[in-house]
A = this chain, B = another copy of it.
Amino acid sequence: MKKQGKQTYVLSSGVSIVAAHTLVGTKEKHGPLANYFKDYFTDDTFGQPTFEKAEREMLLTTITEMLKKNKINIDDIDIYIGGDILNQLVTTNYVAEQLQIPFIGAYSACSSVTESIALASALIDGNFCGKILCSACSHFSTAERQYRFPLEFGNQRQAYSQWTVTGAGCMLLSKEDSACPKVTKICFGKVVDYGVLDLANMGAAMAPAAADTLHTFFIDTNTTPTDYDLIATGDLGKLGSDIFRDLLAKDGINLGNNYIDCGHMIFNEDEQCMQGGSGAGCSASVFSGYIYTKLKEKKFKKVLLLATGALMSTTTNQQGDSIPAISHLIMVEA
């Protein structure tokens, strides 16, 4: 592996994503990606007494189903790296307790999935580990009440707001040379803050961070958008992805038709999710369900995934601080 430019790292021979799995809620299953979300729950409580326990059950089931389907023994996995958006990453921590393998907690809000995959790729490429499990997830009902309002309050949603995805995605990365999609480059983002203060306007807060990472990556690798089949941001939503396009256009970069946003494409317009989906489970489920499948089918050959995270807390927001954001990038090739 070696550094390319300022922030990009090229992996020696690519790290295989040998398996991926996702599990979503009912709203996500009714969206445009229904065919790619094979497994889903019809009840967002997942049979649990609290939504926090439901989120945990969802993540644990996603991981155990992936291991079962791919006949992987948990004890053959060296490390588990993952994160979620609940305070203290409780969903992932409690699932890690169930799995009983070494665990590294990664937090960059909704960019946790690419942070985890990038870290795992680096550890495998550096010959530390053979196999690393990665995951990220979110649940509408736990996130809404933690970050915004109690569900019972039934507040009116702003036109520029997004809807937290109920979904979990996990992937198994391995050093084995396989025909599976491979992570070939990674780029860790910087924290960028354009001064957005509104907790409902996540897309606007995160777009500058994604633009910063992607622009840096293009300079580092001397490439342009047309060099990729697909460039996907995590959860900027419709408004955020428009801002993202505009910011890059101002720098002379035209994203063209190969650009999608996972948040923008996960819900139908009639689902009243305003600008689209958000949450760490958004890019994690769209990557595990849709993008990974297309990569395996060779429909996509070269993909850039930039999950996007807003890094504030409710406390900093109440104290008048603006919302810093970050976006970590991974390049995956079929």
Interface residues, chain A, CB within 8 Å of chain B?
Answer: 1-3, 7, 9, 50, 52-53, 78-79, 83, 86-90, 93-94, 96-97, 100-109, 115, 119, 122-123, 125-129, 146, 187-193, 311-316, 319, 321, 324, 326
Contacts and interface: CB of A to CB of B under 8 A. Distances in A.
29 contacts: A1-B127, A7-B102, A9-B128, A50-B319, A52-B319, A53-B319, A87-B87, A87-B88, A88-B107, A88-B109, A88-B312, A90-B312, A90-B315, A90-B316, A93-B311, A93-B312, A94-B321, A96-B190, A97-B192, A97-B193, A97-B324, A100-B191, A103-B188, A103-B190, A104-B188, A105-B106, A105-B311, A106-B106, A123-B126
Contact of A123 (B89, B100, B106, B122): B122
Q: Which of A104, A193, A324, A326 has the most chain B CB within a 10 Å cutoff?
A: A104
Contacts of A127: 1-2, 126
A311 B87 CA distance: 10
Nearest to A147: B88
A126 B12 CA distance: 11
A246 B192 CA distance: 47
Going nearest first, the 10 A-B pairs with the smallest beta carbon separation are A126-B126, A102-B188, A93-B311, A97-B191, A105-B107, A88-B313, A96-B191, A107-B107, A87-B313, A87-B87
Contacts of A326: 93, 96, 103, 105
Contacts of A87: 87-88, 313-315
Contacts of A321: 94
A248 B186 CA distance: 41
Nearest to A124: B126
A105 B108 contact: yes
A316 B9 CA distance: 38
B128 A3 contact: yes
Contacts of A128: 1, 3, 9, 122, 126
Contacts of A119: 104, 119
Nearest to A2: B127
A90 B189 contact: no
The secondary structure that dominates the A interface is: mixed
A1 B115 CA distance: 22
A316 B104 CA distance: 20
A191 B102 CA distance: 7
Contacts of A191: 93-94, 96-97, 100, 103
Contact of A311 (B89, B107, B108, B126): B89
Nearest to A126: B126
Contacts of A2: 127
A126 B125 contact: yes
A190 B315 contact: no
A108 B86 CA distance: 13
Contacts of A193: 97
